[in-house]
């Protein structure tokens, strides 16, 4: 039975997990660990966790994790990998560790090497397809995952009781769930999540430079730009710290999607006055109709 949950990283995702657990009826203990004492205090103030350990100093944090039934790692991918290294030797075998990292293959490989084996805790790699362009506990919501997809890339097929229970809580958050291969996860997420992010960042950075080029341009651009401009650059507000780790751990698939889009844009640019433009619009229309 899951009675004691430690959430490592009480930012947007971690604090939302705490709030979602409470909303779904979880009556056990929630403990938050964060490097940032203010984030942790905010998460506690919101009721996302009952107690906090912050700033998270090594020894104390590991001791607290060792008391948990479930440890939820809700920090950027490289930090998750750091926690896997530290937690694997100290957790009891009945513990379940799960995570909310945006890429899964690097985590899956490391967790397989660190956790698979007799006497080791269980690790269930996970990834909620939810978030906001800005982070922080202050933006956390009990309903953040409602209607979202929560992906899992399991290390093996057998399920422990605690894994079954954790998956049931995720379903109670309002999530659909899907199990898939970690490499396939990263390839699909490069298309549906990482490419949109990189395009929004590139566009926002391009506009930032372009607006500075002529006096008065910035004001006119902003006055004239409407929903299309806002929408296509919304993700430009996303934090580097999180996306650096995504780029580090999913470099090849992301580079492939960006390159494919560069070629597509060049094709469209070269066909602004030819029937090739029509073909692109027809295909794009079809994509939107089928959603």
Nearest distance from residue 31's CB to a second copy, in Å? 29
User: What is the edge-to-edge ordering of all strands in the sheet holding 51-53?
Assistant: 51-53, 29-33, 4-8, 70-73, 96-99, 122-124
Nearest Cα to Cα of residue 14 among 82, 58, 108, 79: 79
Cβ nearer to a second copy, comparing 45 with 222: 222
Q: Is 174:146 a contact under the CB 8 Å cutoff?
A: yes
Given 66, 78, 155, 247, the residue binding a second copy (CB under 8 A) = 247
Instruction: Name the segment binding a second copy (CB under 8 A); options: 63-71, 93-101, 103-111, 274-282.
Output: 274-282
Is 255 a binding residue for a second copy by CB under 8 A? The answer is: yes
Longest CA span, the chain: 67
Contacts to a second copy from residues 182-211, by CB under 8 A? 184, 188-189, 191-193, 195-211
Interaction between residue 179 and a second copy (CB under 8 A): no
Using the rule CB under 8 A, give the single segment among 7-15, 34-42, 136-144, 180-188 that binds a second copy.
180-188
Contact 280, 271 (CB under 8 A): yes
Q: Does 285 bind a second copy (CB under 8 A)?
A: yes
Residue 244 lies near a second copy (rule: CB under 8 A): yes
Is 231 a residue that touches a second copy (CB under 8 A)? Answer: yes
In angstroms, the CA 78 to CA 71 distance is 17
Residue 28 engages a second copy in binding (rule: CB under 8 A): no
Nearer to a second copy, 166 or 243 (CB): 243
Tokens linked to 194: 């990482």
181 binds a second copy (CB under 8 A): no
Helix (H) or strand (E) segment spanning residue 187: helix 182-189
Please report the sign of the dihedral spanned by the C-alpha atoms of residue 128, residue 133, residue 136, residue 140. negative
Name which of residues 151 to 170 contact a second copy (CB under 8 A). 151
Restricted to residues 39-78, the positions that interact with a second copy (CB under 8 A) are none
Per CB under 8 A, contacts with a second copy among 95-154 are 129-130, 133, 148-149, 151
E strand residue ranges, 25-101: 29-33, 51-53, 70-73, 96-99
Name the residue nearer to a second copy (CB basis): 114 or 250. 250
């Amino acid at each position: 039975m899951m009675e004691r949950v430690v959430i490592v990283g009480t930012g947007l995702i971690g604090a939302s997990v705490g709030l979602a657990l409470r909303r779904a009826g979880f009556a056990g203990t929630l403990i938050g660990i964060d490097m940032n004492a203010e984030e942790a205090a905010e998460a506690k103030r919101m009721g996302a966790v009952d107690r906090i350990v912050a700033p998270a100093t090594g020894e104390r944090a590991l001791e607290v994790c060792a008391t948990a039934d479930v440890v939820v790692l809700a920090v950027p991918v490289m930090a998750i990998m750091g926690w896997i290294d530290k937690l694997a030797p100290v957790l009891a075998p009945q513990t379940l560790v799960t995570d909310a990292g945006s890429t899964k293959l690097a985590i899956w490989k490391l967790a397989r090497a660190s956790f698979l084996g007799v006497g080791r805790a269980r690790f269930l790699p996970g990834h909620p397809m939810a978030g906001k362009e800005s982070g922080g506990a202050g933006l956390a919501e009990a309903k953040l995952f409602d209607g979202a997809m929560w992906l899992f890339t399991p290390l093996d097929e057998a399920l422990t009781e605690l894994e079954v229970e954790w998956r049931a809580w995720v379903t109670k958050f309002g999530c659909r769930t899907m199990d898939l291969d970690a490499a396939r996860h990263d390839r699909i997420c490069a298309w549906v999540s990482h490419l949109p992010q990189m395009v929004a960042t590139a566009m926002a950075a391009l506009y930032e430079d372009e607006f500075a080029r002529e006096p008065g341009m910035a004001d006119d651009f902003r006055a004239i730009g409407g929903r299309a401009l806002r929408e296509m650059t919304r993700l430009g507000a996303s934090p580097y710290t999180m996306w650096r780790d995504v780029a580090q751990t999913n470099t090849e698939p992301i580079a492939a999607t960006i390159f494919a889009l560069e070629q597509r844009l060049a094709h469209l640019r070269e066909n602004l006055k030819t029937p090739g433009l029509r073909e692109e619009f027809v295909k794009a229309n079809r994509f939107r109709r089928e959603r």
